[in-house]
A = this chain, B = another copy of it.
Amino acid sequence: MAEHYKITFEPMGVQAKAPAGTSIYEAAGIINIPLRADCGGKGLCGKCRVIVDPPHNLSALTESELGIFSPDEIKRSYRLACQAQIQGDVTITIPEQMADSREARGKTGLRGKYPFDPMVERIGLQKDELPEPKDGILADGASWVAERATRVAGHEVFIEDLGALRQLSRPEAYEGEITLVNHLKRGITAVIPGNKSRSLGLAVDVGTTTLAAYLCDFHTGEVIASSASVNPQRRYGEDVISRIAMTDNREDGLAILQQIVVEGINYLLGRCVEEVGASAEDIDEVTLVGNTTMEQIFIGFHPHGLGVWPYLPVLSSPRDLRAEEVGLNLNPGTNVYLFPVISGFVGGDTVGAILAEKPFLRDEMCLIVDIGTNGELVLGNRDGLWATSCATGPALEGAQISCGMRAVSGAIHKVELDSRTGGPTWSVLGDDENIPPVGICGSGLIDAIAVMRKMGVLLPNGRLKEGMPGVICDENGVGREYVLVP
């Protein structure tokens, strides 16, 4: 009998066993993972594309695959599920499914209009007039376009960005009207043929687990589209510490994590512009937040320093990047504003929350709590702010809790005070009403603590009150444990 190998499918994280020679497509079928195969598995339609790791545990690339994939995609370990046959343990990532998983839902409800004051403007120029010589000398193309743009905009405009200059040099820019994207600090960042007045902004939130993107109309301040997906880095570790370890352990680790998160963002921005019938060249600025590790990986900084004392970020100030410096599929010079971070473990997402909630303008004390895979807390008011962070997902789901688990079937996800008995009641996740609890997930744990406080089992100083029902004492008579489910 042929040897069986372990096939892990991401982003779902499910596994199958399959004998050598099975195609990825067949292996997915074993555990009911639907893959598209419009051509019936003949290697023609390219719809069943997946990313494999490690590539050498699969059969060689077939002629069909060489025809369908670009050399770059081959380098990035793309395969057709119907063509590649399993020859060893392998992890299969299904790019199309990235956006449909459960974790990504609930991140895209942020519609509405917001006050706005963009750093960018669009300036339309008519078909090139010929430059006027000054002192008998003709200007160069760059100073000539800057001069005309300054005249149209009514304020000083300059062009220095390499991507914008490259666009300006192209034959299309000589053919008729052109539209300039002018960043008030960086000058012209894009030169687009034609009269294109639409101007969009993209806000990106890079979470350890989830990516979210919001598309905003710079003429109205309205959020017109949003999209979320799993952070594809997840297959290299659930939390930031395991991602840092991965970059320390593999020479190509940082390059891989950087590339796949950018691919994920490109995928989301494509969905956003498609939703509103726009195109990527309509996006004039991107702002991006994330915890410090996520931001560093995105910009291509090795997160090594975040894993060793004194946990210093490379850069805490904000950074204006050019889209092509990180690989975003936009005009190459489009500005990407990376939020400043507060410390190695309090990132730009917290800065974003502070800017949104403005505790620094308030008299009353204010607590901002961001519970994600990592959690951040900000406490304070106009007199000052204190920020700190902790592991949240792992803390609530595993680390230091003997019965912690994720919010899946069997988890206690809700705890309430039974007014009749004065004791706790709990609910378990799952379709079957009588499913027995096998552990407790984050929301259950927070509920449990609240109920324990209400019952008086948990004292204000965090100690358990000895003698209360369910409290177990150690040999010295100190309350150490509380039994929620006997």
Find chain B residues with CB under 8 A from A302 CB: 166, 169-171
Q: Is A315 an interface residue (CB 8 A)?
A: yes
The interface residues of chain B lying within 8 Å CB-to-CB of A301 are 165-166, 169
Distance between Cα atoms of A170 and B302 in the complex (Å) = 5
A248 within 8 A of B: yes
Given A302-B170, A305-B169, are A139 and B325 also a contact pair (CB < 8 Å)?
no
Shortest A28–chain B CB gap in Å is: 26
With a cutoff of 8 Å between Cβ atoms, the chain B residues found around residue A313 in the complex are: 140-141
Which one, B74, B174, B310, contacts A71 given CB within 8 A?
A: B74
The residues of B that contact A325 with a CB separation of less than 8 Å are 162
Q: CB-CB contacts of A322-356 with B at 8 A, as 1s and 0s?
A: 00010000000000000000010000000000000
Q: How large is the interface on A (under 10, 10 to 19, 20 to 34, 35 or more residues)?
A: 35 or more
Interface centre among A138, A139, A169, A299 (most CB of B within 10 A): A169
CB distance from A138 to the nearest CB of B (A): 6
Q: With an 8 A cutoff between CB atoms, is A72 at the interface?
A: yes
This chain's copy number in the assembly: 2
| Chain B CB within 8 A of A300 CB | yes
Chain B residues with Cβ below 8 Å from A72 are 71, 75
Please name all residues of chain B whose beta carbon is closer than 8 Å to the beta carbon of A71 when the two chains form the complex.
71-72, 74-75
Chain A positions within 8 Å of B, measured between CB atoms, are 71-72, 74-75, 130-131, 138-144, 162, 165-166, 168-171, 174, 248, 296, 299-305, 308, 310, 312-317, 321, 325, 343
**Beyond A71-B72, A165-B314, A169-B305, 13 additional pairs, beta carbon < 8 A:** A130-B310, A131-B312, A138-B310, A139-B312, A140-B314, A141-B313, A141-B315, A162-B321, A166-B300, A166-B302, A168-B314, A169-B303, A171-B248
A sample of 14 inter-chain contacts (CB < 8 A) reads: A71-B71, A71-B75, A130-B310, A131-B310, A138-B343, A139-B312, A140-B312, A141-B315, A162-B299, A165-B314, A166-B300, A169-B302, A169-B305, A174-B304
A-B pairs, top 4 by smallest CB distance, nearest first, are: A71-B71, A169-B301, A140-B316, A169-B302
